[in-house]
Amino acid sequence: MDFGDNEDIAALRDLLQRFIVREATPEMAARWDREDHIEREMLVKLAGLGVCALTVPQEFGGMGRRVIETVVTIVELAKRSTALAGLYIMNACYGSLNLASEGTDEQKQRFLPRLLSGETLFAYGLSEPDVGADLSSVTTRAERRGDTVVINGRKRWCAGANFADHILMLVRSGEAEARYRNLSIVLVPTDAPGLTLEPAGAMGVRGIPVNDVLLDEVEVPFANVLGGEAKWNEGWSLLAGPALEIEKLETPALALGVAEAAVAEAWEYSQQRRQFGAAICTIQSIRHMLSDVQTKLQACRLMLMSAAWKVDQGLPSAVDTSMAKLFVSDTARDIVLTCQQVLGAYGYAHGFAMERYVRDALVMPIWGGSSAIQKNNIANLMRLPRK
Ligand SMILES: Cc1cc2nc3c(=O)[nH]c(=O)nc-3n(C[C@H](O)[C@H](O)[C@H](O)COP(=O)(O)OP(=O)(O)OC[C@H]3O[C@@H](n4cnc5c(N)ncnc54)[C@H](O)[C@@H]3O)c2cc1C
């Protein structure tokens, strides 16, 4: 098993770390969080590094599907800012991974070159006001009218819809009589007439703002149905298809990046902060906290990389990716909360990055398939008998 700690991965980490020092300063990360806005140009800069190629097939000028490298990229970017990492995910994962694996030839030709160059971004429109974990019960309706699809309904929590070009939207395209049937995925342009946004706001992962998306008779060409004719009413298979395994790694990669940053800060702070005549890193309880978080961090790294390695190898990985989502998200939240304690009051104050890490870490077990849902998945996939 090579978890990717080879020369190529080391070079990728080094490239990203030098980029971050140069192009994404701590002040910028704080501003993206404060203003709940990140400039799209940051993505073009990332594309210039070549990382948008990691999920684009070679025939479109990319490097194929490099899962470990994609995960490493998310971790490195999230160490500085979840907004920066989120921008990358919207392009390389929501966009390129889905299009490369599920798009028609025409859709690949239309979108992949612009995804590769960092010129286009996709948001995810799955959730609705009354639909969270139970995604197969979406009520946003899509009706086929000749060469077009007309969409009515409301999506919630659509992160980055205000600056994405398309929303990859899960819609009900037929009767709701059979679970997991009659669902489709439509690539909805964000500038389509009848589509409006209502900003929502969230306590963390700011910079990629969350929005409600209102759809009133929004007309989209049928050519925008992901997978085309064959996948009309078969959208669930796309959602639960190969892209899902990588999607389950995106949140743990973000979570690990945030936890890495928090540990680095607490480690450094403990050596600078003096109480009772000595640095607090000499106090046994602080040393134990820092030893604990370093140990948990290592467990998270191994869990994530081992799952990514299995996906890269094409091995069965559904249990591993659910375990990685569950373990790394929960553990990263615990790590960050411990690091906050090391900083005492300064871990609770505005203006210190730790406060942002805490807000960012709290969402990791909630979104992208909650920890409870991953526990269900693991028990089911491992065939634990049910009632
Ligand atoms: C900042 C932010 C950004 C987001 N971005 C997006 C986005 O871009 N696109 C998008 O589509 N969505 C997005 N989401 C939505 C996110 O993916 C959902 O929050 C998530 O799917 C869970 O849905 P819910 O919060 O409505 O919880 P619910 O499904 O209502 O669940 C509530 C509670 O019940 C538990 N629960 C539910 N069902 C079960 C079950 N069967 N077994 C055990 N426990 C269960 C859950 O674990 C949870 O604790 C975002 C959310 C946030 C907070």
Residue 15: which CATH number? 1.10.540.10
Q: How far does residue 131's CA lie from ligand 1's centre (Å)?
A: 8
- Is residue 204 within 8 Å of 360, Cβ to Cβ? yes
pLDDT band at 67 (very low <50, low <70, confident <90, very high): very high
Residue 92 per-residue DSSP state: I
Residue 68: enclosing H or E segment and its boundaries?
Answer: helix 67-80
Give the total number of structural domains in the chain: 3
- The rounded distance, in Å, linking the Cα atoms of 337 and 358 is 7
Residue type (1 letter), 76: E
Mutate to test the pocket of ligand 1, among 139, 157, 363, 371 (most ligand atoms within 8 A of CB): 157
The boundaries of the domain holding residue 279 are 241-381
Over the chain, what is the mean pLDDT?
95
141-145 and 122-125 as β-strands: parallel, antiparallel, unpaired? unpaired
Same domain, residue pair 45 and 88: yes
Mutate to test the pocket of ligand 1, among 363, 370, 378 (most ligand atoms within 8 A of CB): 370
- In this structure, what is the dihedral angle of CA atoms 90, 93, 96, 102, given to the nearest 10 degrees? -120
- The rounded distance, in Å, linking the Cα atoms of 28 and 290 is 28
74 Cβ neighbours under 8 A, 6+ residues apart = 85, 88, 89, 250, 253, 254, 257
Same domain, residue pair 206 and 297: no
pLDDT of residue 5: 62
Asked whether residue 303 carries a pLDDT value surpassing 80, the answer given is yes
- The rounded distance, in Å, linking the Cα atoms of 326 and 372 is 8
Number of other CB atoms surrounding residue 133 within 10 Å:
11
Nearest residue CA, atom 19 of ligand 1? 367
Mean pLDDT of 73-82: 98
- The rounded distance, in Å, linking the Cα atoms of 260 and 277 is 29
Asked whether residue 188 carries a pLDDT value surpassing 90, the answer given is yes
pLDDT of residue 3: 66
Write the pLDDT tens digit of every residue in 364-375. Answer: 999 999 999 999
Domain boundary among 233, 249, 265: 233
Q: Which residues on adjacent β-strands are paired with residue 124?
A: 168
φ, ψ of residue 221 to 5 degrees: the values are -60, 145
- Is residue 80 within 8 Å of 115, Cβ to Cβ? no
- Is residue 260 within 8 Å of 82, Cβ to Cβ? no
pTM: 0.97
Domain boundary among 89, 120, 151: 120
